[in-house]
Chain A
Amino acid sequence: MSGTHATTPEPSYLVDTGTRTGVMAWLTTTDHKRIGLLYLYSMMTFFFVGVGIGLVMRLVQLTTFQKLVTAQTYNAMFTVHGVIMIFLFVVPGLPAIFGNFFLPILIGAKDVSFPRLNLASWYFFIAGAILAVLSLFTGGGAPDTGWTFYAPFSLKTGTNVSLAVFAAFVLGFSSMLTGINFITTIHRMRAPGMHWFRMPLMCWALYSTAWIQLLATPIVAITLLLVILERFFGIGIFDPAKGGDPLLYQHLFWIYSHPAVYIMILPAMGAISEILPTFAKRPIFGYKAIAFSSMSIAGVGSLVWAHHMFTSGMSGMALMIFSLLTMVVAVPSAIKVFNWVSTLYKGSIDFQPPLLFALTFIFLFCIGGLTGVMQGALAINVHIHDTYFIVGHFHYVMFGGTGMALFAALLYWFPKMFGKMYSKKAIYASWFPMFIGFNMLYFGMMILGMMGMPRRYYVHLPQFHTMHVIATVGSWFLVLGLVIFFATLIYATFKGEKAEDNPWGGVTLEWTIPSPPPLENFDVIPTITRGPYHFEQEEHP
């Protein structure tokens, strides 16, 4: 008690203060920060499993390695790669890690509204992950349908689709419960004076994401349940032989799975909107425009699902309506991009690793977004449907977009989360192979798609071979970059220098508390009197 400081600092959340210690303290925690880290560790593990599978798939396309993997295993690999990356990494990624860790801090709260439910969500996540892994080794072997589980093949294949689908069903619960938690938290837990338009933009992004999680996830839950019932009891809803309709499956599946794309990208955009003002040292340009564009992406994005089905056989009218709506959803996304660029304009830019990855996000996301608009055009879509162009496109959005934003957010908040600083030089060193490899791999895929290479094929024609080699070599650079990146961060958690409370000069609430934060975040709940990005220099321009 007789410390040298006037006030004894609260112990950090990383120190066990309860009755349980060690692993048990982590597994029974209801602290939103620890739950965020539990998600971080588990997701990064799955991410690297997914990366590993992706790497082997690229090796298969170097035909000399084709002895490694049979065609059936290749089918299982792209299915499992998709299931892991989508359901275990990109969909829950930013909301579960950074939403859990920072949402309460950003709105000046001590925790989320339902801390125990929050822990339960993590257990649902882990249970789903375990079931997904089990589905690989039990039953008829790993599912080979692709992550979309399209009927009628998913109803007929002898592989263990039922368990994989049930895993996705359980993961959906985790996603929904997190959504319920975040919406309630934002409605009920904001600090005094934290009006809706004083919230940092990350909160707006998480809020709109949570609504999509709430409104879209149950649809995929029931769809996947129907697949299971179909496989066990033959209820016939998707089976044409019994009067059912496989197209109904596609509709129901994409009613969730297209909005899920926005579950993946909206929190990423939110993180970027936090990072840019901090390093440009000026308020975000067009705060309300960004906030509303998040909500309108959530709204319009729910009405574009059938653009995945342009070649499935819908009426001409339906095709045109969905094509139009697909183009419309590009507008709020473009609003965000223009606002980010305007934020940088005339800012006093402090160039740091998080900003580098944020700018990488904007660049790669623009490529991904614009190629998306291309595919919204019916005439082009028919030609590039189910080719490598699509694969390249969605990796630009999901990996170049969400993945890079997740890395940027990790770099930005790492000192706050762990109280340690990483080696900036090593991070820069990881960026070069990552960026070069990324573009070789996925731009290469887009070129292959334009040339006519179909996706999910085990073999390819000789004229595609050169581009396949380029893409595969790109994948090596990409993995090299990833390994350096994560090795740097893991090293920093053990041996990094102690980080300051506010290493970047940020002005949102998380930078007002110690690094790492104490258990209850704030000694006294702050009273908010102004907007989130209030830099001193800007007061008298």
Chain B
Amino acid sequence: MSGHVHRDDLGSRLGMWLFLVTEMVLFGGLFIGYSYMRYRYPAEFHHGGMELNATLGVINTLVLLTSSLTVVLSIVAVQRAEKQRAMALLSTTLGLGLTFLVIKGFEWSAKFHHGLYPNSAHLATLPPGEQVFFGLYFTMTGLHGVHVIAGLSVLSVMLWWVATDRIRQDRYIHLENSGLYWHLVDVIWIFLLPLFYLAA
């Protein structure tokens, strides 16, 4: 309830970047675990990777990359005061994000169908390295999925704010920061793709 109004876009952006650092370190812990386990079980990780559908993985990568592009374009549109276009582009991002989740859902359910999920009877018959592979696969893509959902929620709010002119030509730092977050989600996926889908 301080009376003064404080606005510092550069500070907000710095804060966002620092937050992204924490996100990178969060996944970094999992990447450490992955590197160590892969070093320990190279052959099993190869077999595990063969079970995954690389085509779907690559399609999902393209979907996410495109969604990142449309976020950037929506920021440009806001800067040019083209509200309708900004909203259309943001909606495209939301649609592509949902597409990603749907494809991901099909992949996961296929794995469940084959009995490849943590603690399953089938998985217990596989060699230990493959059990760890699928443990990491579900943990890392699952945590990434949670981040996709978080990103989509934030971007939905941004869409609402663009519609109600809280985000406009002279004040778009929130959209910019949300875009940064969405790019991070994107970048993490770019690392997950080769580590799991292209591991075979």
Judging by beta carbons under 8 Å apart, are A243 and B132 in contact? yes
Complex formed: what's the CA distance from A255 to B132 in Å?
Answer: 22
Does residue B191 face the partner (Cβ distance < 8 Å to A)? no
* Chain B residues closer than 8 Å to A114, beta-carbon distance: 12, 15
- Binary A-proximity of B1-45 (CB < 8 A = 1, otherwise 0): 111101010111011001101110111111011001100110010
Does residue A306 face the partner (Cβ distance < 8 Å to B)? no
Does residue A528 face the partner (Cβ distance < 8 Å to B)? no
- Binary A-proximity of B167-184 (CB < 8 A = 1, otherwise 0): 000000000000000000
Count of chain B residues with a beta carbon within 8 Å of a chain A beta carbon? 43
Q: Report the minimum CB–CB distance from B66 to chain A (whole Å).
A: 29
Judging by beta carbons under 8 Å apart, are A236 and B132 in contact? yes
Judging by beta carbons under 8 Å apart, are A226 and B139 in contact? yes
* Chain A residues closer than 8 Å to B1, beta-carbon distance: 17-20, 25, 28-31
Judging by beta carbons under 8 Å apart, are A244 and B132 in contact? yes
Judging by beta carbons under 8 Å apart, are A214 and B21 in contact? yes
Does residue B118 face the partner (Cβ distance < 8 Å to A)? yes
Q: Report the minimum CB–CB distance from B111 to chain A (whole Å).
A: 13
Judging by beta carbons under 8 Å apart, are B118 and A236 in contact? yes
Judging by beta carbons under 8 Å apart, are B118 and A235 in contact? yes
Judging by beta carbons under 8 Å apart, are B2 and A235 in contact? no
* Chain B residues closer than 8 Å to A223, beta-carbon distance: 29
Does residue A162 face the partner (Cβ distance < 8 Å to B)? no
Q: Which A residues between 202 and 227 are near B, CB-CB below 8 angstroms?
A: 214-219, 221-223, 225-226
- Binary B-proximity of A1-40 (CB < 8 A = 1, otherwise 0): 0000000000000000111100001001111000000000
Judging by beta carbons under 8 Å apart, are B2 and A520 in contact? yes
* Chain B residues closer than 8 Å to A187, beta-carbon distance: 11, 14
Complex formed: what's the CA distance from A348 to B25 in Å?
Answer: 48
Chain B: CB-nearest residue to A17: B1
Q: Known contacts A111-B2, A184-B14, A234-B118; is A252 also within 8 Å of B32 by CB?
A: yes
Judging by beta carbons under 8 Å apart, are B15 and A180 in contact? yes
Q: Report the minimum CB–CB distance from B105 to chain A (whole Å).
A: 17
Does residue A229 face the partner (Cβ distance < 8 Å to B)? yes
Does residue B129 face the partner (Cβ distance < 8 Å to A)? yes
Could you list which residues of chain A lie within 8 angstroms of chain B, going by C-beta atoms?
Answer: 17-20, 25, 28-31, 110-111, 113-115, 117, 176, 179-181, 183-184, 187-189, 214-219, 221-223, 225-226, 229, 233-237, 241-245, 248, 251-252, 255, 519-520
14 further A-B pairs in the complex, CB-CB below 8 A; given A187-B14, A219-B28: A113-B8, A115-B6, A180-B18, A180-B22, A184-B11, A184-B18, A215-B21, A219-B26, A222-B27, A233-B138, A234-B118, A236-B118, A242-B135, A520-B2
